Copies of this chain bind each other. A is one copy, B any other.
Amino acid sequence: MRVKELAGWLVATFEAASFEGDGDREIRRVMPLEDAGPEDLSFVSRGKAMKLAGESKAGCLLVPADYANDPPRTVIRTSDPRGAMARAILKLHPRIEPQPGIHPTAVLGPGAIVGHGVSIGPMAVIGAGVKIDAGSVIGAGSVIGDYVQIGKRCTIHPRTTVYREVVLGDEVVLHSGCVIGADGFGFVLVDGIYEKFPQVGRIEIGNRVEIGANSCVDRAALGVTSIGDGTKIDNLVHIGHNCRIGRHVVIAAQTGLSGGVVVEDYAVIGGQVGIGDKARIESRAVLGSGSGVLTSKIVRAGQVVWGTPARPLKECLEQMAVLSRLSKKRRSQEPGARSQNSGA
């Protein structure tokens, strides 16, 4: 694709001024600034990237409106180089869609309904009464339980498990190894034996939810475990039974939610966070990576918390500073303190 074509397309579909430099230059792919060559597109946002831009061998750069193009090179100006890049990738690296159709090795249960243009990969196992709407893709080796409902244009990557009766909205993406709908962890100690509280609830996952590789979402004991529209979940995350997660929530890798946790819209949860039973994370709250939220705790709307137990970020930082200061003071006052401490 030539630079002038790309610039024209960005002007038409996104937001960009036209190009400067060699409009006939051929661009074949996108690359990071430091690795890009003469046939590659790259982008410059701010800070470190600005400095790297001068040395980059990229054939064309997406640059901010006020970029000092000196010495002049082939660039496309835009108010949002990163967003323009995301757009350009769609054009230069179009997503490779699998062919529609059901692979001959796939197994479909009785009463399964498969919409127009659906692709079902090799070795996939689709249960009885499953409904898969138009344009969805079920990857190789995935197992979809009885009576599951899958919306339109979903992508279920290979080797994913969806247990019986789970409901997925439209354009849901499940990465490989996800397990959606396993039993919640509910046991009661009776006469010295843990008896299982049967887990017979449901799961509802909204539109445009994306869930990372090897993450687990447990079905409800009673009632429902739900994830709202537009929420994005990273790899190896655990969502316990009866959690209710709102819309446009972000949850980074390896975070775990115990049972009955409520997370409201637009909350942002870092990686390796732990949230206790029935805690409530209100709208637009931010949980720093590694935080631990206690059982039944409420994190207020918009609050930024960190640490274990999770507390307002400022408070957490102050406590760290106080401890650091005391430790340094002690060290300077008592020369012998070091050797005593070494046994700690």
Contact = CB atoms under 8 A, between A and B. Distances in A.
Interface in A296-327: 307-309, 314-315, 317-324, 326-327
A257 to B, nearest CB: 9
Contacts of A236: 214, 216, 236, 238, 256
Given A179-B213, A182-B157, A194-B232, A252 B248 contact: no
A149 B157 CA distance: 20
B143 A159 contact: yes
A274 interface: yes
A12 interface: no
A283 B33 CA distance: 25
Q: How many copies of the polypeptide does the oligomer hold?
A: 3
A222 interface: yes
Contact of A163 (B176, B322, B338): B176
A141 B139 contact: no
Interface in A226-265: 230, 232, 234-236, 238, 240, 242, 248, 250, 252-254, 256, 258
Interface of A: 30-32, 34-35, 42, 82-83, 85-86, 89-90, 93, 95-96, 103, 105, 107, 121-123, 125, 139-141, 143, 145-146, 157-159, 161, 163-164, 175-177, 179, 182-183, 185, 187-190, 192-198, 200, 208, 210, 212-214, 216, 218, 222-224, 230, 232, 234-236, 238, 240, 242, 248, 250, 252-254, 256, 258, 271-272, 274, 276, 289-290, 292, 307-309, 314-315, 317-324, 326-327, 330-331, 337-338, 340-342, 344
